[in-house]
Chains A and B, each alone.
Chain A
Amino acid sequence: MSEIGRLAIVLGFVVALWGIGASVLGALRRDSRLVDSGKHAAYAFSALTGIAVLALLSLLLNRDFNVEYVASYSSSTLPIWYTISALWGGMKGSLLWWTFILAVCNAVVQLQNRHKNRDQMPWVTATMLVVGAFFLSLLVFITDPFERLPFTPREGSDLNPLLQNYWMTIHPPSLYIGFVSTTVPFAFAIAALATGKLGDTWIRTTRRWALFSWFFLALGNLFGAAWAYVVLGWGGYWAWDPVENAAFMPWLTATAYLHSVMIQEKKDMLKVWNMVLVILTFSLTIFGTFLTRSGVISSVHSFTQSGLGPFFMGFLIAILVISIGLLVFRLPLLKSRNELESVFSREAAFLLNNLILVGIAFTVFWGTIFPVISEWVRGVKITVGPPFFNRVNAPLGIALVFLMGVGPVIAWRKATAQSLWRSFAVPAGTGLFAGALSFVLGVRNFYAVLAISVASFALATVWIEFWRGMRVRQAMMGEQPWTALSRLIGKNRRRYGGYIVHVGIVMIFMGIVASSVFKLELQRSMKVGDAATLGGYTVRYDGIEFENDDHVERTYARVSVWDGEGPNAVQIGEVLPEKRFYKKPKQPTTEVSIWSTLGADLYVVLGSYDPESQLAVFQVFVNPLISWMWIGGLVLTIGTGVCMWPSYAERTATVSARAPAGSRPA
């Protein structure tokens, strides 16, 4: 099986090289046979990487420990679900998985465009195959996932226990889908630059892809946060670790692009800027991979470090040089006919939002590479941690949410005082009222009051948009409220889907603000029967239990959760925080237990248990509103779904395009 896999990646690499050559030559000579050959190579590439993934999967499932990858990342007692996830649990597997997702994206792009974009497609094919060939070359020449050991260990050393968690089975795939699919807009951007066809075609073709990759980046980040929250056991979900930053930066620039592209569609402006954002987003995904693979920057949970750094660096430089070179070459064609007219306009609000998003991306980038830069410049390594990122990004984040309220409703071109008043009187009033109310209710943190205020403002503008649109339909079409609402959304999916996404983002924002500002924490050493109170909850240590099987040894505490303090407390539940000892890698882990409500999470950690003194050490956190981050993620998913769902016109267009082939009326 390993030979089949090895053969598949070698052939895949050769096929990719052929496809690149054929596509580029075909495009230059306008030879449709060569172009078709490149297209077929793209399909073959997908099939071959698919075979390689299946081969590795079957080796894992057959527990063939003679294969180094299988021995390193699984064991005979690893549950089947995690054995599958071991496919991307190690570096080699994750590179293969990455290539496979890219190949699937490539095949889908080929299918979608089989009758379209004839001039651009060879360049798209070539670009995507270049990226694919790069990743595959690492597997073929440097780090072979099908490598066999000179001996067969009786047992594998198991998947890292920290990765044996359900979030970890879905976090990497979604993040990779997000990372990899940024290649599609990038490839079309390169094709547009190469062919000089810089109109709206490439943007319209990749609109859904851009949203798709943005969405999966968002999900990947949220899943990663959820994983950190339930697995790492320090009471938080985001530590501004380089690996996290690597996933966050492309999301920021992708968000900027989704907004600025609307300005290009409506006003034919910001063409160069949009190109830059697409190139930047793709480069940041490669940079992210470079960060996590090279070990240039220390990361507490970067789980792989290897000698691949220079290759990624080289590839990154090549990408930047080629794409920026092309961009400069085509600058004369990217002139815009329109100019910004007023600071009080939607264009300006979007531009501002873009500047802030890119500003945040830059601060994250700067903070991440700061140790390297300071060592170059001053010869001493200086690091910045979470306090740096929080300090810089708190005001920027609040400004962003404020603009989120402004952008959707401010007038295009130039807003008059009159229109500003009409659009913003109610939302601004709502925001000020919410801020004041929170102050009266005892919130004294400046940022928290401000955040509550801008979040209410943003929600109010969205609410008014829905409300007014619905009322207009009710009045003009005589529709019932719910019909009016659903048709309003249905006729204008992008706009109202976007608003729903905004609501999701505000929820996530409030979850972040509340859980960072109002977090409570307590550490206590307890004997059975001892109780502690925190933030209106009481926890009582009721006893310790042990469980043991082949795979893992578990020690867990029974802790009852009470609402209130003292004699009036009412028991509301029980949590079972746990210490585990995974036997194959001989590694202890902490399993937190969370009592979750919409208001707050009670997060209980069993720090240690000492059998001699029978003392159990607990760490308890109260994290307010954290559930809203996950609910916000759900709302964001619904909103994206609304945006992505084909409109009525698009659906009928596809049907009528297909109709002649099958259902010609007699």
Chain B
Amino acid sequence: MTARCQGRNQGNEEHPLLSRKLKFLCGASVIVLAVATLIYSAVRETSAYFLTVEEYAQSADAHAGKQLRLAGRVSDGTVKWDPKTLDLEFLIAPIPAKDAAAHLAADGGEAEPVAAVAAADAAVTMLPVRYNGILPDMFAADRDVIVEGKVEGGVFHAKTLLTTCPSKYESDKYESEAAAEEPAKDDLRAALDSARRTP
């Protein structure tokens, strides 16, 4: 049917092989360039800086009004949630140094002890966060979260609120000798958690 060859395309044989190859190379490079351009422009317009709260605090001015992803901990006693309007407010604080190593490693970077030590003075570096919408299941005081949005007027306006998952998700890294004593609670996870927190 459609695959029948026509006698007429003999004329093509006159073209030197090289120029035909060149044509295809050009065609291919057009596509490669198109993909590269697409990637480049999309990165420019949609990327966000991924910072911890203390990293943000060190260079707050440079990041004002820019799209940010901020990793930190929901400060205890600061959560205000109105189920009528779905408005949420809380203070985001640095993740304490002892947990930071594990978390930062999990979040894709190496733990930076310097930043973690500087974060010891947590009160200075807390940042108010505003969000409107349904709370994620795992959201609670003292949980680690990632918020995405912009800082305007000293307040982080979060478009998305992600909770990083609790210990359940990293259950492979506990020291068995620390858990050797019979745990008081019947919940293994609680025992393992406390074992991890008291090195």
Contacts and interface: CB of A to CB of B under 8 A. Distances in A.
Interface of A: 65, 68, 71-72, 90-92, 143, 149-151, 153-157, 160, 295-298, 300-307, 339-343, 346, 348, 351-352, 355-356, 359, 362-363, 366-367, 370-372, 375, 380-385, 387-388, 391-392, 395-396, 409-416, 418-419, 422-423, 468, 523, 525, 584-590, 605, 607-608, 610, 613, 615, 617, 619
30 contacts: A153-B191, A295-B108, A302-B169, A305-B169, A305-B172, A339-B21, A340-B20, A355-B31, A363-B35, A366-B39, A387-B45, A388-B43, A391-B45, A392-B35, A395-B38, A411-B4, A412-B5, A413-B5, A414-B6, A419-B4, A419-B6, A525-B83, A587-B166, A588-B137, A589-B137, A590-B137, A607-B86, A610-B83, A613-B83, A615-B84
B9 to A, nearest CB: 5
Contacts of A589: 137
Given A342-B12, A587-B137, 4 more contacts: A356-B31, A383-B47, A391-B45, A607-B134
A587 B168 contact: yes
A149 to B, nearest CB: 6
Interface string B129-141: 0000111011000
B24 A340 contact: yes
Chain A to chain B: the 7 pairs with minimum beta-carbon distance, closest first: A607-B134, A157-B189, A153-B188, A387-B46, A381-B50, A298-B107, A359-B35
B2 A422 contact: yes
A384 B31 contact: no
B79 interface: no
Contacts of B171: 72, 90, 157
Given A90-B171, A91-B172, A339-B21, A525 B84 contact: yes
Contacts of B84: 525, 613, 615
B38 A392 contact: yes
Interface of B: 1-6, 8-9, 12, 17, 20-21, 23-24, 27-28, 31-32, 35, 38-39, 42-43, 45-51, 69, 83-86, 105-109, 133-135, 137-138, 146, 148, 162, 164-166, 168-173, 176-177, 179-183, 186-189, 191
A372 B108 contact: yes
B31 A359 contact: yes
Contact of B1 (A468, A605, A617): A468
A383 B69 contact: yes
Contacts of B27: 343, 348, 352
Contacts of A303: 165, 169
B130 to A, nearest CB: 15
B49 A380 contact: yes
B51 to A, nearest CB: 7
A608 B81 CA distance: 11
A342 B107 CA distance: 49
Given A143-B172, A525-B83, A388 B42 contact: yes
A359 B32 contact: yes
B172 A617 contact: no
A589 B146 CA distance: 19
Give the interface centre of B2, B46, B134 by most chain A CB atoms within 10 Å. Answer: B2
B106 A305 contact: yes
A381 B46 contact: no
Contact of A523 (B31, B39, B86, B137): B86
A423 B28 contact: no
A523 B134 contact: yes
A605 B134 contact: yes
B9 A414 contact: yes
Nearest to A153: B188
Contact of A384 (B32, B42, B172, B187): B42
A372 B108 CA distance: 7
A541 to B, nearest CB: 14
A468 B1 CA distance: 9
Nearest to A149: B176
Contacts of A300: 146, 162, 164-165
Contact of A150 (B45, B107, B176): B176
A371 B168 CA distance: 25
Contacts of A586: 187
A619 B148 CA distance: 20
Nearest to A383: B50
A422 B6 CA distance: 14
A149 B189 CA distance: 13
Contacts of B69: 383
Contacts of A608: 83, 134-135
Contacts of A617: 83, 86, 134
A388 B39 CA distance: 8
Contacts of B83: 525, 608, 610, 613, 615, 617
B169 to A, nearest CB: 5
A374 to B, nearest CB: 8
Contacts of B148: 385
Given A72-B188, A306-B172, A355-B28, A525 B179 contact: no
B125 to A, nearest CB: 18
A351 B30 CA distance: 13
Contacts of A160: 168-169
B114 to A, nearest CB: 14
Given A155-B187, A306-B173, A363-B39, A352 B23 contact: no
Given A340-B20, A414-B12, A607-B135, A362 B43 contact: no
Contacts of B21: 339
A370 B47 contact: yes
Nearest to B5: A413
Given A525-B83, A588-B137, A339 B48 contact: no
B53 to A, nearest CB: 14
Contacts of B85: 525
Given A298-B106, A418-B6, A388 B47 contact: yes
Contacts of B169: 160, 302-305
B131 to A, nearest CB: 12
B17 A339 contact: yes
A339 B188 CA distance: 66
Nearest to A616: B83
A384 B5 contact: no
A590 B163 CA distance: 14
A584 B31 contact: no
Contacts of B179: 149-151
B5 to A, nearest CB: 6
Nearest to A143: B172
A71 B190 CA distance: 12
Contacts of B24: 340, 343, 348, 351
Given A153-B188, A155-B186, A392 B31 contact: no
A383 B86 contact: no
B66 to A, nearest CB: 11
Contacts of A366: 39
Contacts of B134: 523, 605, 607-608, 617, 619
Nearest to B13: A341
A510 to B, nearest CB: 22
B137 to A, nearest CB: 5
A391 B46 contact: yes
A411 B3 contact: yes
A388 B46 contact: yes
Contacts of B23: 343
B46 to A, nearest CB: 4
Given A392-B38, A617-B134, A153 B186 contact: yes
Contacts of A72: 171, 188
